[in-house]
Structure 1
Amino acid sequence: MTDEPRSRRFLTISQAAEELNVTPSQIRALLSTGELRGIQVGGRGLWRIGVNDVEDYIAEAYRRTAERIAAGELKDEKDSGVPEE
């Protein structure tokens, strides 16, 4: 046995939302569409999202964004009409 702390395997909806800097309702929407993988635990509808699934979601989002940029579908924030933060 090792004395190193075991890294977390699963996140709650709130923890996943914090990781992605979005709201829990946005995580629920991603789960309901299957865009983000998760599992329901027990009979109370508790969701858990694998840390690796969050990383996979991020990698896929980067890939899709790069494709959209290459296709000229995305503009700079300055050109988008969206105010900068």
Structure 2
Amino acid sequence: MAEPRFLPLPDVATELNVSESQVYHMVRSGELPAIKIGGRGQWRVERARLEQYIEEKYAETAAWVAQNPLNATDAE
């Protein structure tokens, strides 16, 4: 069976190993693209968008690490 295209916020939280409230904040702030669907307006994150978000975070982290090298005293 194929993976679902859209994930509810609790599943996104599990994927990212963060709290549901953190995911909700990321969605509401626009950091993580999502849609509201259904009569109750439930949030869903498209799996492809989640993977894109993760790749962007890897790039941001790599840039930060390059700009903030670990000093020998930091490693102690």
Fold match (TM-score > 0.5): yes
Structure 1 unaligned spans of 5+: 80-85
Q: Which amino acid counterpart does residue 49 of structure 1 have in structure 2? A: V
1:1-85 correspondence to structure 2 within 5 Å: 5-72=1-68, 79=74
Q: Structure 1: which 4+ aligned runs deviate by more than 6 Å?
A: none
* Higher relative contact order, chain-length normalized (CA < 8 Å, sep 6+): 2
CA RMSD of aligned residues (A): 2.2
Tell me by how many angstroms 1:42 deviates: 2.4
Q: Distance in 1 between matches of 2:41 and 2:22?
A: 17
Q: With structure 2 as the length reference, what TM-score do the two structures score?
A: 0.85
Q: Distance in 2 between matches of 1:64 and 1:12?
A: 25
Percent identity reads 40
Secondary structure of the residue that 2:13 maps to in structure 1? helix
Structure 2 unaligned spans of 5+: none
